[in-house]
Chains A and B, each alone.
Chain A
Amino acid sequence: MVSVEQLDGGLIEVTARLPRLAAAAVPGQFAQLRCGDHGGPLLRRPFSVAWTESQTCSFVFEVVGEGTRLLAELTAGDVLDSLGPLGRGFSVDAARGEVVCVSGGLGCAPFPLLVRSLRSRGVRDIIVLNGAASAERLYPADRFTRGDAGVGVVEATDDGSRGHHGFVTELLAPMVSSVTAVYACGPNAMLAAVATQVTGAGSPRVAEASLEAPMGCGFGTCLGCALPLRGDGRGPLWGLCCSDGPVLPLRSVDWAALLALPAADVA
């Protein structure tokens, strides 16, 4: 049982009846979705769990290749085959008072669930800094807040068509010293920019990002999803996105090595 919702700017939200995933998923975890039937891609595709109700889970994506094209073609009544929840989610226990979420583009996906979880744990104020290329590509603010007055959304666009004209990370600087936690998800360059802001003295206790890597399995057996973690100075140590992550402390990632990797687009 599936519903597919086309949002502005090419964003798509798929909701499917997945009661076990809904019950078990914590914010930041992902599911490996089968795209198409056996004629579709061989490997599953990883997607952050964006939202859960008691029986359903939602995922947010855009069509970038064959797998996402097939997902977008799902219609009510189709079955969505999901494996998960997988990976390590955000640490929510140490967050208090005020926290900030930094979202770039499709990095929005894990935040609705995270925001709900933080609020239910008594976090007083949550600011979501939401950036995208242009206004229509911004994930709608009310999907982060879900009507909760304790959640604020501040938007930024690269082309200035809505909100702050510039990078979303520029909005972060004035907040870093007052929050207890920073959570980020988006392009690697954005995450690296966040990392530089939260590593000094007086940085928030929790500073984490959800990262991506091309995956074979999603559950730690193929060793395909390597990400460079800070080693002992002799070059990066390879961690696994799917099982060490996808959420990692910002300070544990070797950002220079990550940014030096060839772009992941294999289309």
Chain B
Amino acid sequence: MSSAGLRVDLGRGLVLPNPVGLASGTAGYGFELAQLIDLDRLGALYTKGTTRLPREGNPPPRVAETERGMLNSIGLHNPGVDWVAEHYAPLFAAWRIPVVVNVAGAEISDYMHCARHLDGVEGVAGVELNISCPNIAHGLDFGRDAAGAARLVDAVRAVTGRHVMVKLSPNVTDIAAVARAVEGAGADSVSAVNTYVGMKIHRASGRPVLPQGTGGLSGPAIHPLALAAVAEVRAAVRIPVVAAGGIDDVATAFDFFAVGADAIQVGTASFADPTTALRVLDGLAERAAAGRIPARWGTTAVGSP
């Protein structure tokens, strides 16, 4: 199935060949999935959250299944930005799929360090600022506070010419306010949503299954919640909105287009079926061929400044 005509221009040089991406933390840095599927057909790969220094991540268990969903508490296990820039980016550069490096940190200076380090690097199509990781201490602070998020984006904006996408946390009282704040501070796009804070109890002991207590909930269980959040964000900003949350087929993906998303990310569903994103893309291309997709694709994303 051809996916020509599905191009999405998210602005500042980030042009996706099609709107179907792989969500951060569910595709690693692409190398394992590349053994299983034809990655280069997809619209974008959002990498595992990458930090200034390598991180070992949290002790296990790190994942626990819940009703139609899963909790994770990986703790940003990653090789660090230097490794990504030196060893992975040259490999990304050989791929057709744009690679957006998801960046996380505890301090504004951590994000600045990573963004600066990745700025001129070939193979890195943009950065996605994870201001919302629920699995490290302080990881949520920027995402919860509109003013803090704006300060962070402002600082990162100053050190990179690359596309800056901001990944929004749904664990806030007013996601629209955070979205508006990061738009005002110069974000090129927003992605929503990251995982919802959740918990599972080990019934024999009465203690949480995840040693950190809580984890991030993802998968089909969060789809209706994510839809509501994305609709709210769409109404709040003019920059492109990239949607994630419980997509497991073309219908659940299309729900996000119905509320105004410009592109989507497939996350947890890839674990059970690594071809999910390709199936979504094929379904999208089929609908496009039948003239049943929004007119905004093919040129510039709607609402791009």
Contact residues of A with B, CB < 8 Å?
34, 41-44, 83, 213-228, 235, 237-238, 243, 261-262, 264-267
Q: Which residue of chain A has the shortest Cβ distance to B220 in the bound complex?
A: A42
- B 265-279 binary contact with A (CB < 8 Å = 1; else 0): 000101110100000
Among listed B55-63, B150-158, B169-177, interface-contacting one: B55-63
Contact yes or no, A221 B272, CB < 8 A = no
Query: 30 A-B residue contacts at CB 8 Å?
Result: A34-B272, A42-B219, A43-B65, A43-B271, A44-B272, A213-B60, A214-B62, A214-B63, A214-B64, A216-B63, A219-B33, A219-B35, A219-B36, A220-B32, A221-B27, A221-B28, A221-B271, A222-B25, A222-B72, A222-B271, A223-B25, A224-B60, A224-B72, A226-B57, A227-B60, A235-B56, A238-B57, A262-B61, A266-B65, A266-B200
Q: Which of B81-89, B125-133, B202-210 touches A? A: B202-210
Q: Which residues of A contact B26 (CB under 8 A)?
A: 217, 221-222
Interface assignment of B74: CB less than 8 Å from any CB of chain A: yes
Is B292 part of the binding interface, using a Cβ–Cβ cutoff of 8 Å? no
Residues from chain A with Cβ under 8 Å of B27 in the complex: 221
Could you tell me if A42 and B65 are in contact, using CB atoms closer than 8 angstroms?
yes
A88 CB to closest chain B CB (Å) equals 13
Q: A42-B272, A238-B56 are in contact. Are A266 and B74 (CB under 8 A)?
A: no
Contact A42 B70 (CB under 8 A): yes
* B77 and A226 form a contact (CB under 8 A): yes
The answer to whether A224 touches B219, judged by C-beta atoms less than 8 angstroms apart, is: no
Determine how close the nearest CB of chain A comes to the CB of B103; give it in whole angstroms.
17
Cα distance A220–B31 in the bound complex, in angstroms: 9
User: How far apart sit A235 and B55, CA to CA, in the bound complex (Å)?
Assistant: 13
Q: A238-B77, A266-B209 are in contact. Are A223 and B60 (CB under 8 A)?
A: no
Residue B48 at the A interface, CB < 8 A? Answer: yes
Collect the chain A residues with CB atoms within 8 Å of residue B32's CB.
Answer: 219-221, 243
Nearest chain B residue, comparing its CB with the CB of A44: B272
In the assembled complex, which residues on chain A have CB atoms less than 8 Å from the CB atom of B59?
A: 226, 228, 238, 261
Min CB distance, A29 to chain B, in Å? 14
Q: Chain B residues near A34 (CB, 8 Å)?
A: 272
Q: Tell me the minimal C-beta distance from B98 to chain A in angstroms.
A: 18
A47 CB to closest chain B CB, in angstroms?
15
Which of B68, B74, B203, B219 contacts A267, CB < 8 Å?
B203
Q: Find residues 71-114 in chain B having any chain A CB closer than 8 Å to their own CB.
A: 72, 74, 77
**A43: B residues at CB distance < 8 A:** 65, 70, 271-272
Known: A43-B70, A221-B33, A223-B77. A266 touches B61 (CB 8 A): yes
- Name the A residues within 8 Å of B57 (CB-CB): 223, 226, 238
**A215 CB contacts on chain B under 8 angstroms:** 63
